[in-house]
Structure 1
Amino acid sequence: MHANYRLRHVIVQIQTADAGIAERIGVIFGPFASADGAPDIMVTLHRAAVLPAMPTGTPVTFEEGRLAYFLHDQRLIAHFTQWGQLRIDLNTLRFEAFLSEACLATYSVLEDMVIIGLAPLLRRRRLFTVHAFAAARAGRAVLIIGDIGAGKTTTGISLLRAGWSLLSNDSPLLAADGSDLEVVAYPGLLSAFDDSLARFPEMAPILADPLSPLGHSRQKRTFAAERLYPGVWAKTAAPAALCFPQITPGLMISALEPLSAQQALLAMIPQSIENWDKPLIPQHLSILGHLAEAAPAFRLLLAPDVEALPALLSRMLPGA
């Protein structure tokens, strides 16, 4: 199987000989399928019963027992002890992934491995990642930015059910043409725990689906947004606001607190900038700084009133 997908001006071709991987990639990337143009980035995905050995030498990034990155002559090998190994050629804009059974059996990890491999190649095509949920209304995007468990997806789903469009569940892209900044859609499934999904009545069919037997007492469910919200995807939008959710025990009504552009930039850097990719750090910092200056930022103090979030976040849009 091979198929092309368009991310703004970049065509990504993904190929695999594994039917199971091909089916999942089709579900994840399906809304971005494109028959036009030659590929700019080539991706090959393999299922690996046994992972390739970790390279020798000194890694540029290392976390004991979890991951190690090795960089030599514009070739990056990202080795994940549990999930797989990525071989990324920064010159030819190709990457090859060897994915473990554990990777393919655990929610969202295949998506994570693909964006980890794509991110440095997309940067070299002037598309820069930011870790956020992105939704848009009337061509204006709100980026919901935060760590795991901060309430990004719950806040984002509240917007989708109110008629907003989806740009990305986790990794929207940023593109700059001169002084104009765009938020560019990036594919992905929605992913949330049952207690978050139970807040929304239309999630009943998702909650009725059997969970994969992963052996975890608590796990997220993943599903395509268009399953519940047909026509939900947007391709691009102008950035209108940055929102940093924070679950606030004891609070009854959600509220917004303004943040400075500097506070917003500092909060975005840790999960967006990859320190090993030194030649592209200045460009990535510049576009994040541009975003922080272009879009006002707010801390969203989250209460249980999820049904009120669309009206509250609409206040951040121009003209509200």
Structure 2
Amino acid sequence: MANRPTTTLALTLGSILVLFAGLLAFMGHLGFFTFTGSDPSSKIVAAALALVGAFLGAAVSIVGLVVKASIDRQTESRQAMESERAAALQWEAEQRLKLEAGVRALQLFSTSAGELTPAIQREGALFMLANLGQHELTLQLVDELLSKEEVSPGAAVAILNQALLKGGEEHKTRAISVFSSHAHRMVTPAGADVPECLLNWVPGLPAYVREWGVIALADVLLARSAEEWREQFLFQAYSLLAALGIAWTEETDPRLRRNLGAILHPLLAAFPESQLLCHPRLSIDTDRIRDEVAHQVPDGQATEELLQRLAQWGAPADPAGPRPGAGLNPINA
């Protein structure tokens, strides 16, 4: 590639020399350069010399164009190489800055004495790592902190939502696994914290996220009794039901749709007064969905186990009995 301009120039010059030599030989053979002293002979020689001069002028112009094109190509090639080198250096600098920022973020989790820093400082560090695209590390930390109840549900779901929307396929799988594993921890005095992408059931979620997202939303509802949802957090419960209703309306996978319908049936039965749920994306007619899901048969162990807990949840409360427990870990199910 580097020798192509030089080769092109050499071929052009060689071709011109061959043509010029051939032209001179041809004209000499025809006697165009033979001067006999007569006026016609002088005119013929003059015309021949003019033709040779014109040929030389054209040849010089062609050589000039070839040289210019060669120089332009070399300049473009050099600029492209410099641009690639600059981009590589910039990428390395950005990665180095991200690494340094990540190290500083990790330092925010503990003091110099080894003690745990305040929750707001830890959550700020999590957001910093997430914004740097360090989803794998962030999700691992969120999982650990949720297990120890050392991060607020609101901060955790914000981090999970970012991974579900912006992370790679493996990050989305990990994020929905973390949310499903800790769904019972997402209830708050104000209702419940749920990743926005699940609450709005944004289009384009992977099948694995859709499957375990439905189970996780059901587990959030299971974290409180149906009576408590109806009496104190009815609108929050309706938001979760509306998200599941959108999922039912838009789901195209037959197996996921069967499982979703089987889960919706007992959930809607626990809220018989719900009719039309007005969601920002869609208005959900729960009466119509009740009819559609009435005879859906689950297809999967995780869904069947969830339905057993839903049956217990929807039954009359037993003060002496245990409340439904946490959901399954989708990675291990």
Q: TM-score, normalised by structure 2?
A: 0.23
Structure showing greater radius of gyration is 2
Q: Higher RCO, 1 or 2 (CA under 8 Å, sep at least 6)?
A: 1
Compare the two structures and name the one with the higher strand fraction: 1
Compare the two structures and name the one with the higher helix fraction: 2
